[in-house]
Structure formats: C-alpha cells, structure tokens
Structure 1
Amino acid sequence: MVRIVRFTAAAVLAAAAIVPSAPARAAGFDGPWTVLIITEAGSCDQGYSFPVQISGGRVTSAGSANITGTVGRGGAVTVRVSQGGSSASGNGRLGATSGFGRWSGKGSAGTCSGRWQATRS
C-alpha cells in the first residue's frame, strides 16, 4: 500500500470547494512543495514524504504517480492520484509556506486514510 501513501501526499496538496476559474489566479502557490503523508486508518505505510510541483494553480508530481489537481485563489486544494491499480484523493488548504488536509485511497492493501501536511521547498 506504499503506492497509496505516495499518491495522496500529492493529495498535496493539499477542505473547501475549488472555483473552476481559480487556478489561473493561484500563481502565489507556484513552485516546489514537499508533502508528508500520515496514515491514520488502514494498513498503508505510516508516513511518507515526496515532492510535488504547482504551476499556474495546477498540481503535478515530480515522481512517477499520475497526479491531477488544482489550487484555488484562496489556497483550497483538490487532488486525485493514481498509479497501477491504486488511487487516492485529497483536499485541504495551502498558505504562503505550508498547508494541510485529509486524504483517502484504495489499493491492493485495502482502504486507507489520513492527513497530509505540505511545506514550500
């Protein structure tokens, strides 16, 4: 279940709804971020850290997982991550230098969930 933990962290990025036109105005969050995933329920790894990139309000991975997500003007984040047969989603909020949120996912080890925290790299 290591894969789910890696994904959802991307769930970097990342509680509020995203306004569809907001990503273009979210440039204040652009740049590299490091996300720490903490598993609170399920049999996934207890913690994992990895890099993500935000550009023009869009969240992408610096690694091998397929990550799609957005950051709104106010810092609201929604992310979906998949790799192999596993997938996860997360949401939360970013500030100028850090962020936090919740994630949940499903894969070969079952269902897992927890929280994430991000810091600007």
Structure 2
Amino acid sequence: MSTLTTAYVHHIEERILERQKELDARLHAAVLAATGEASGAAEVRDMKDAAAEDSDAAFDDAALAQAARERDELAAALRRIRQGSYGDCADCGRPIPVHRLEAMPAAALCAECQGRHEHAASHWRPG
C-alpha cells in the first residue's frame, strides 16, 4: 500500500492534468494539419523537398504516436489516483519510490518490475 500523502497525490494529479492539456493541444494541432485546416501549408517544390517532407512526416507520426501513448498512460494514472491505488506497483504491489513518480508521474510499475517487463519483451520471439 502506498504511503503517499494526499497533498502529494494532489500535486501529481495537477501535473498529470497539465501534461494532458499539452498533449491534447499537440494532438489537436496535428489533426488540423492533417486535414488541411492549419495555415501555412506549402507546396512541394522539388524531389528533395518531397523527400525531406516525407522524412519529417515519418518523424511527426512517430512523435504523435508517442504523445498518444503518453496520453493513455496519464489517463491510466488518473484512474489509479481515483481508485486509491496510485503509487503502488501494479505487479508486485510495493510502493513505487517518490523519486520515480516525480520523474515519471504515470509510472505503474516499480523499477524492478519495469525492468523485468522490458527484459521479457526484448527476449520475446514470435512462435
């Protein structure tokens, strides 16, 4: 069971909500740009420009996918706050150290369990 104070959990909740607003704005702007509603769309002038735009688009897609994943992780953290389980490792149940939560407010796992998950994922091979 987590030993986090109510004040600390409230502090983290505010940080999570602020970060969600930032990510929502970024994702909203990307949707507007993709649908052509954003201003400043330039025409492709030559093949070099087209290649650079393709490279930028791939980077943007990866960045947006990461932003969407982070948004989902933050939403899950808010659910844990509301359920009273925030700060407890979802695997082992031990408290997640405050320094980890400060660095990654959406952390659902302690560092030890996170390491096990990452190790298992890096060694998984499709059958």
Q: Identify which of structures 1 and 2 has the higher relative contact order when contacts are C-alpha pairs closer than 8 Å and 6+ apart.
A: 1
Structure number with higher strand proportion: 1
TM-score range for the pair, normalised by the shorter chain length: under 0.3
Bigger-Rg structure (1/2): 2
Structure number with higher helix proportion: 2
